[in-house]
Structure 1
Amino acid sequence: MHPGSSSVAILGGGVGGLSAAQELAERGFAVTVYEADDALGGKARSFEYEGDAEGPPLPGEHGFRFFPGFYTNLRDTMARIPLAEGGTVADNLVPTSETLVASVDGGESLSRSATPRTVSEWADALRPTIGNGELTARETNYFLRRLLVLLTSGRRRREREFDAITWWEFVDAEERSPAYRKHLAESTQALVAMRPQIASARTIGRIYVQLMLDQIEPRRPTEAVLNGPTSVVWIRPWVAYLRSLGVEFRTGTPVTAIESDGHRVTGVVVDGADGSETVTADHYVAAVPVEVMARLLTPALTRAAPSLAGVRKLDTAWMNGLQFYLTDDAPLAHGHQAYTDSPWALTSISQGQFWADGPFDLTGCADGSVQGVLSVIVSDWETPGVLFDKPASECTREEIVDEVWAQLTAHLNREDERLSAAALYDVVVDPAIVEAERGDRMDNQSPLLINTVGSLRHRPDAVTEAPNLVLAADYVRTETDLATMESANEAARRAVAGVLDRAGVGPPPTVWGLDEPAVFEPLRRQDDVACALGLPHPGETERGLGRLLREFRTRVGA
């Protein structure tokens, strides 16, 4: 079969849907993308904020976009999206060079995020992990031994045992010091919006290792951000390229039903400007968010694809942001800022320094006085704040703004006023955060999948049992194993491979997994055998003996 004779309906125009569209259109398939929103890009897209001032709107992000070094699949896709002025979208990635870790009561550290090359640079790179002197060498060594257990464990043990316990349990956070919990056990929440008390040790541990390797592996690219608003420097050129390949886009067209005869998909109902209609295609790529897919499941569809039944059991959390527009730019650090004492697990990036040499002119927006944008993400929406003693989800939009500003300035302005209220031009909360029907809470129209304990078994593969349905979304089983742009892109590549196999054409897209140090590979293979025989990991034996010894000491002391 020639690809041009096969039609594909892609349901969802986020990173997963657009990635699948690119792989299929480049191979000659006739592709139509149906997107519920009026804009493409999903959670990754930026938006325009009118505010009260006259002039062009200000750019806004749903948080901020960053691209760790291990985002291999996504970077490959970006390198194949041409820009009108020459080059590719990948050229719009700007490497960061440092990370600021700020606290309210303790010290502050500024470390390099580029690969260390000297002894002093190595010391700087490790300082945030070590907790600026608050951690003892004994606790740091214990945490590293727990990481070694993960690195030397095989796939079987990770999926059977480590997906069944929390990261909090895996690193024994409850039995350690407050500094250990703060700087090590809880440090990932700001990055992946998952509380360590409920998130899978398998998922958090693997991503933690990847982020560490990004810093110490010289062959990996440095963590990067974009040189302009996401939609300007990435999504719009992407859509233009896909249109040039013949991809048709139907925005403002939500999918309301996936029809099935219990064996295959027979059609998809969409709501357009002229009302509802049923569209048909040879292949269907579901690239809608997990909460939308759960609503679309019917008994007939789950008979056709039984692996979809677990989708309703997957959990979501909030990881949304605010944009603070400043008349005096506050660079803070040439990379991320992490606020270790923030109850809302805040992180931020000061965008202006990265946009300075890009194609977007921030001073051309509003009345021309905005010089910088501080993009802040709230990763914990359920812990009470410092001003109103309420979680973010129960605050009004105005209270969210005041609370976030208070937490930021408590970290940044202890000695010098690095973040000045006099320079605050305006602020906007992610438009996905809206007032709920009940007046005492907010609602989130764009939640994020979280990898809770035991959730792996509920996640379907990209290629379903239905012969004409594949999945290109971040809840799919991927090697990336986290709700990220990389995972959505990887899922799309796996979905397209399924379409190509069923259509009898090739070759499939390349799929890169996560790299781990090769030196541990023999130990991982050995552990796979041990796990199959029901034997524990040697590191877990040491841990068990340590717990027995502590219990014995406690009883003797009593």
Structure 2
Amino acid sequence: MTTTLVIGGGIGGLTAAHELAEDGVDVTVLEANGRFGGKARSMPVDDDPSALHGEHGFRFFPAFYRHVVEMMARIPDGSGTVADNLVETEATLLASTTEADRIAETRTPDSIRGWLEALRPAFADDLPSRDVRFLLERLAYLLTSCEKRRTEELDDVTWWEFTDAENRSPAFRDRLTSTTQSLVALRPQAASARTMGTIYLQLLFGQLDPTRPTERVLNAPTNEAWIDPWLRHLENLGVDLRPNTAARSISFDGRRIDGVELVDGTTLSADEYVLAVPVDVAPKFVTPDLARAAPELGRIERLETAWMNGIQFYLSVDLALSPGHQVYTDSPWALTSISQRQFWTECDVDERGPEEVAGVLSVVASDWNTPGILFDTPARSCTREEIAREIWAQLKAHLRVAEPRLTDDVLVDWHLDPAIVETDDGVENRSPLLINTVGSLCNRPPADVAIENLTLAGDYVRTNTDLASMESAAEAGRRAADAICRRHGIPSTARIWDLEEPLVFEPFKRQDRLRYRLGLAHPAEVTQTLRSVTNRIGGRR
């Protein structure tokens, strides 16, 4: 039987283990921490398993997440599967300190009027009509571009440049920044047009697809609703799960990997190895010899990371807010949140932690470099206590009309992601997030690298999803498992989905493939160039 050693028990590593085990491969998973699940895991606030849970950040499953959701549907949980623990949201609250709050529906529209209402927050509201038209033109440009143009041209252009943000209205720039940064810790000034445009379109198509829920969340803390049942299933499949087992290095004989050394000095060996550690950890395993044999491994260290971490506020009231997420549009730390109790139907909050806790507000901060409103200091330079107080202050500034009121007397306790560790100069983040910056695609390795018995499984691997996410990690894990099965002549069951775009644009993409081969610009680029020149001459910009 083929043996495989998976280094890292996050979503990528567990997915690879799941696929391989189902295909008859003997799998061992090494996890440096005491809990599997990587950035997706939840953790009890204290040593009591029944205590309140904290998380790295809340979970979010948009419609285009196919790999991770299909995997959930294959994990037994009670009389059903883990996929049954996904709950559809209904609306997102867009809260502002200076304007009236807005509600964006997330349910799939069932009428033409509903479709128009669903599209309004994305394109209209406070945006000038010229900006809306321009954004639609830019999206059409993306949808009619061939894959090579997207990869070789649009990956080298920022979303900010592509959408001409400097010459648009302040409302347009604010919307562009809050949308991208709150979702994936990305600044539009740095993110590529290829990545941000693609994900923007996927989110939009997901809302208009009547066959799939637009957006879902879990009905309990992540480990209870997903990770723990998954681990039980993997063990039933014969996977050897080893928590608190950190790898120090991998040994390379010039042609193949021949062992993994653990921090305790033990050496383990297998036929195949899957490196499934985070992007900031992976370079530590890449020796000069490995980088020479597989140059794509040496480029991982060029990838950039940002901070996107969560804090849970435990309240004496159930602050329902909207039946979905909240986006705090002008919060300096780019906050988003979700009030969990309305969705946690399988988790009795009343039985967890202090008896006065009645609600859980899970918040994610995506900007750690901008000064706040309470301490006038970036989050990176604050203590953990100051971070909690600053986020609480920003929430109160936005939720002025929430009922019940968000006041200091309703705050029982809080739990900040333990990856945020205090130092003499503020805090450091031991679990940063990959960001897809301009030109970074060439630095992202494939799952199947040029080492005959090594594969990669992480959200930094080049995938169709092209975004640091559970979905990308799950896709990478499938690609790693598929590569291993192919090497050993094992029929692979790991399915890979392409991102879907309307077929009506295919003829335009075929035409653009010909234009690109001939060295011609995209028609929309020519039109935009002429329009920009005309506007500048006329002084209208």
Q: TM-score range by the shorter chain?
A: over 0.9
Name 1:21's counterpart in structure 2. 17
CA distance in 1, matches of 2:58, 2:212: 22
Is the 8 Å Cα contact of residues 328 and 335 (structure 2) preserved in structure 1? Answer: yes
Partner of 1:65, secondary structure, is coil
**Which residue matches 1:178?**
170
Whether contact under 8 Å (1:167, 1:185) holds in the other structure is no
| Corresponding letter in the other structure for 2:533 | L
The secondary structure found in structure 2 opposite 1:143 is helix
- 1:15-56, Cα deviation, whole Å (9 max, x unpaired): 0010011001111111000001011101000011139xx995
C-alpha separation in 1, matches of 2:444 and 2:306: 16
Which whole-Å CA distance do the structure 1 matches of 2:360 and 2:120 have between them?
A: 27
Partner of 1:238 in structure 2? 230
1:353 counterpart SS class:
coil
Where structure 2 has 5 or more consecutive residues not aligned to the other structure, the ranges are none
Distance 2:494 2:46 in 1: 41
Deviates more, 1:5-14 or 1:259-268: 259-268
Aligned to 2:386: 399
Query: Mapping of 1:163-202 within 5 angstroms?
Result: 163-202=155-194
Q: Structure 1's 280 and 120: CA in aligned 2 closer, same or farther, altered over 3 A?
A: same
Gaps of at least 5 residues in structure 1 are: none
Output the TM-score relative to the length of structure 2: 0.97
Alignment-mate amino acid for residue 87 of structure 1? G
State how far apart, in whole Å, the 2-side matches of 1:291 and 1:297 are.
Answer: 12
Structure 2 CA distance for aligned equivalents of residues 370 and 388 of structure 1: 28
**Superposed counterparts of 1:447-486, under 5 Å:** 447-486=432-471
Question: Of residues 93, 109, 117 in structure 1, which corresponds to 2:110?
Answer: 117
CA distance in 1, matches of 2:203, 2:254: 43
Q: Indicate the larger mover: 122-131 or 421-430.
A: 122-131
Aligned to 2:290: 301
Tell me how far apart the structure 2 counterparts of residues 56 and 135 of structure 1 sit (CA, whole Å): 47
Amino acid in structure 1 at the alignment position of 2:166:
E
Q: Any conservation in 1 of the 2:32–2:246 contact (CA below 8 Å)?
A: yes
- Partner amino acid for 1:472? A
1:127 counterpart SS class: helix
1:463-494 superposed Cα distances (whole Å, 9 cap, x missing partner): 01111001111111000000100000101111
Of all paired residues, the percent bearing the same amino acid is 52
Match of 2:94 among 92, 96, 101: 101
Instruction: Return the match for 1:157 from 145, 149, 157.
Output: 149
Partner residue of 1:432 out of 403, 413, 419: 419
Asked if 1 retains the 8 angstrom alpha-carbon contact of 2:128 and 2:169, the reply is: no
Report which stretch shifted further, 42-51 or 440-449. Answer: 42-51
Q: Give the Å deviation of 1:308.
A: 0.7
1:297 deviates by 0.9
> Which letter maps to 2:55?
E
Name the residue aligned to 1:288: 277
> Which of residues 75, 81, 95 in structure 2 aligns to 1:81?
75
* Alpha-carbon shift at residue 111 of structure 1 (Å): 2.4
Q: 1:353: which partner in 2?
A: 342
Counterpart position of 2:491: 506
Counterparts of 1:220 and 1:116, CA distance in 2: 11
Alpha-carbon distance between aligned partners in 2 of 1:488 and 1:237, rounded to the nearest angstrom? 19
Give the corresponding residue for 1:385. 372
The worse-fitting range, judged by mean Cα deviation, of 32-41 and 252-261 is: 252-261
Kindly indicate whether the alpha-carbon contact (under 8 Å) linking 1:264 and 1:304 is maintained by their aligned counterparts in 2: no
- List per-residue Cα deviations over 1:235-291 (Å, max 9, x = no partner): 0000000001110011111111011022111111112xxx22111100001110011
Mapped contact 2:321–2:402 kept (Cα < 8 A) = no
SS of the residue 1:196 aligns to: coil
Q: Is the counterpart of residue 543 in structure 1 residue 528 in structure 2? A: yes
Q: Deviations over 1:70-106 (max 9, x none)?
A: 11111110000001x2100000001111111111112
Point out 4+ residue stretches in structure 1 off by more than 6 angstroms: none
Deviation per CA, 1:479-513, whole angstroms, max 9, x where unpaired? 00001000001011111110011111113411011
Residues 212-253 of structure 1, C-alpha deviations (whole Å, 9 max, x = no match): 011111123331100000011110000000001110011111
Amino acid of the structure 2 residue aligned with 1:309: G
3-state SS in 2 of match to 1:291: coil
RMSD: 1.6
Select 1:61's aligned residue among 52, 55, 61: 55
1:440 Cα shift? 2.1
State whether residues 262 and 302 of structure 1, in contact with CA within 8 Å, keep that contact through their aligned partners in structure 2: no
Does the Cα contact within 8 Å between 1:101 and 1:339 map onto a contact in 2? yes
What is aligned with 1:30?
26
* Equivalent residues of 2:23, 2:493 under 8 A apart: no
Q: Distance in 2 between matches of 1:326 and 1:348?
A: 14
Say which of 494, 504, 528 aligns to 1:519. 504
Cα offset for 1:128? Answer: 2.2
- Paired with 1:75 and 1:424, the residues of 2 have a C-alpha distance of 34
The whole-number CA distance in structure 2 between the counterparts of 1:256 and 1:131 is 52
For 1:416 and 1:68, the matched residues in 2 are separated by 28
**Secondary structure in structure 1 of the residue aligned to 2:76:** coil
How many pairs are equivalent? 541
2:299 to 288, 310, 316: 310
Contact 2:319-2:403 within 8 A present in 1 as well? no
> 1:414-429 counterparts in 2 under 5 A?
414=401, 418-429=405-416
Answer yes or no: is the 8 Å Cα contact 1:463–1:469 preserved in 2. Answer: yes
TM-score (norm 1): 0.94
After TM superposition, the structure 1 = structure 2 runs for residues 135-154 of structure 1, keeping only pairs within 5 Å, are 135-154=127-146
Aligned match for 1:259, one of 251, 255, 258: 251
Contact 1:286 1:471 in 2 (8 A): yes
Partner of 1:187, secondary structure, is helix
Contact 1:265 1:301 (C-alpha < 8 Å) held by counterparts? no
For residue 263 of structure 1, what is the amino acid of its counterpart? R
Separation in 2, partners of 1:433, 1:292: 16
